[in-house]
Amino acid sequence: MKRQGQLSELARVLGITLVCFLACWTPPAAQDEPSVRPGVNDKYLDPELEVESWVRRFEGESREVFTARQEVLAATGVEPGHRVGDVGAGTGLFTELFARKTAPKGWVFAIDISAPFLQHIVDRAAKAELANVTAVLGRPDSIRLPPESIDVAFVCDTYHHFEYPTSMLASIKLALVDSGRLIVIDFERIPGESRPWIIDHVRSGKEVVRAEIEASGFELVREEQIEGLEENYFLVFREK
């Protein structure tokens, strides 16, 4: 009972952190940018989202980034003390890995537009006794982090969900320190080669993604080759 009470208190504190963080930071107004794919995120905005079904989908052996999660974590170069923005954190798979890696002095901001996902992450962090996680309710056009608040922005299987990529990338650039890195993992979209689900679901291939990110003031540092990632690419960028 004592342990349960401690976990409940930690969850309460993390929940307060979420509320206080958003109350303390108002991001600049986004540019007038049309959506590149209207409605792509509607299902995640459902307040009754059934999170456990997404846990089974996102954290199963059929998902490459799940099976290769430790290799992905190592390739990010995240170290103790780093501040990481997990953009589109979903069920918190990498949030938890980053929180353990950056402890005790580092921090992870779990950013998502889905309140049910964020509540799940708060509960997950409490259960794992991770006190270095802040849940951030992002906007479709902004990650809602203050300037120079993170060392690494991690976008895993989420870039193709950016409705307003120019505005989102501007908010990421603002949040990164001068030497910070933007890491993007997403699906190779190759007509005639990629699975029909990827062709239908992912709006653009790696070349278009790279061009959009470079047009937003980043430069490609390298492309990581991760054993176990066959349908996903792994790109590392820095601010120009």
Question: Which residues are within 8 A (CB) of 34 and not within 5 positions of it... i.e. 6 or more apart?
Answer: none
CA nearest neighbour of 158 among 183, 191, 190, 192: 183
Q: Where are the domains of the chain?
A: 2-24+59-239
Under 8 Å between Cβ of 145 and 177: no
Q: What is the pLDDT of residues 195-237, one digit of tens each?
A: 999 999 999 999 999 999 999 999 999 999 999 999 999 999 9
| Percent share of the chain, pLDDT over 70 | 87
CA-CA-CA-CA torsion sign (31, 35, 36, 41): positive
Under 8 Å between Cβ of 58 and 91: yes
Q: What is the pLDDT of residues 148-181, one digit of tens each?
A: 999 999 999 999 999 999 999 999 999 999 999 9
Q: Which CATH number fits domain 2-24+59-239: 3.40.50.450, 3.40.50.150, 3.40.50.620, 3.30.413.10?
A: 3.40.50.150
CA distance 175 to 125: 23
In whole angstroms, how large is the CA radius of gyration of the chain? 17
